[in-house]
């Protein structure tokens, strides 16, 4: 008997998931996509299976703007286990080295200033970065270690929240591309005892916080009661991650030409930068960039939502 192909729905928006422990970001995305029966889906940057917390999931037209969330600043809380290092720099790896923990709370607080501001990090081997088309983590599992270029990241906040003998709970606000595992590992080396990430929770991604998230269990319960359409109520507008951008509202005439790929002028436009654009009815129709001649060039368009 031939299998009937599932017809997916054309739904658009963002669901802020509190990613559960043990799930890859893609596994979490595919689960929520199934609950919505959504045609098109994408996430905004990977969280390790060990990590939980804020994971914006984009559906339909919202996937056009996922890169801007990927590039946004992030916030985390992490528990650093002192006295050990592991192959993956987190609790999922094999222990490489054990050292006695002879430091106290004051010692931890004393080394943190060196990691605030703009710092250099060497990405871990267990990461999704690619070398010659191969993810580094695949090379690491095969026992290979390759040279990685240092990268500059910014740590806007690094605060000790709690200390308990051989664990330190830290709050971190950082730029895109920051590896919390590397940060914790480097702090451990600075303390002389080593450290790895025992727990990791993302508390913020761009403008989104934990308070706005929904759990997988909540989504499943709503789906069990009302099906795919019931889950739609958790969808936020496609431009929810861009609300801090300047907003322009075009006339019906300007919106028509702009949606057909033509730059237009707007009297209240900023002198430069990216903008959110609405039509005369207040409907989000895409993002644009202010060109040197003052016109708004379309960059990513939404024709219907």
Best CA proximity match to 195, nearest among 27, 81, 67? 81
Instruction: Give φ, ψ of 281 to 5 degrees.
Output: -95, 0
Cβ partners under 8 Å of residue 69, min gap 6: 44, 45, 56, 58, 205, 206, 241
Cα gap 87→179, rounded to integer Å: 15
Cα gap 171→24, rounded to integer Å: 23
Does residue 48 have an active-site annotation?
yes
**Number of helices (H), then strands (E), in the chain:** 8, 18
Taking a C-beta distance cutoff of 8 angstroms, is the pair 80, 196 a contact?
yes
Q: Compute how many other C-beta atoms are within 10 angstroms of the C-beta atom of residue 282.
A: 7
Helix-strand-coil percent breakdown of the chain, rounded to 5?
30, 35, 35
Name the 3-class secondary structure at 164: coil
Exactly one of 48, 90, 239, 279 is catalytic; which is it?
A: 48
Query: Which residues are annotated as catalytic?
Result: 48
């Amino acid at each position: 008997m031939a299998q009937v192909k599932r017809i997916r729905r054309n739904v658009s928006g963002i669901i802020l998931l509190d990613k559960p422990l043990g799930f890859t970001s893609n596994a979490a995305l595919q689960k929520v996509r199934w609950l919505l029966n959504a045609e098109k889906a994408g996430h905004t940057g990977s969280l390790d299976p060990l990590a939980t917390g804020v994971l914006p999931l984009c559906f339909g037209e919202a996937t056009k703007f996922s890169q801007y969330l990927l590039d946004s600043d992030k916030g985390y809380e992490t528990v650093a286990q002192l006295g050990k290092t592991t192959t993956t720099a987190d609790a999922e790896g094999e222990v490489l080295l054990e050292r006695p923990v002879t430091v106290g709370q004051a010692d931890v607080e004393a080394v943190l200033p060196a990691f605030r501001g703009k710092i250099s990090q060497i990405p871990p081997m267990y990461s999704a970065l690619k070398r010659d088309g191969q993810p580094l983590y695949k090379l690491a599992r095969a026992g290979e270690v390759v040279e990685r270029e240092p990268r500059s990241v910014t740590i806007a906040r690094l605060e000790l929240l709690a200390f308990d003998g051989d664990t330190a709970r830290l709050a971190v606000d950082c730029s895109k591309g920051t590896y919390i595992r590397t940060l914790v590992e480097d702090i451990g080396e600075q303390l002389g005892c080593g450290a790895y990430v025992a727990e990791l929770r993302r508390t913020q991604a761009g403008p989104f916080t934990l308070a706005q998230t929904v759990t997988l269990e909540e989504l499943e319960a709503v789906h069990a009661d009302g099906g795919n359409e019931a889950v739609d109520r958790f969808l936020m507008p496609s431009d929810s991650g861009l609300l801090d951008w300047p907003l322009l509202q075009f006339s019906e005439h300007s919106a028509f030409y702009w949606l057909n790929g033509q730059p237009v002028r707007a009297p209240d436009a900023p002198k430069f930068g990216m903008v959110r654009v609405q039509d005369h009815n207040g409907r989000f129709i895409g993002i644009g960039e202010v060109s040197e001649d003052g016109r708004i060039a379309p960059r990513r368009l939404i024709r219907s939502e």
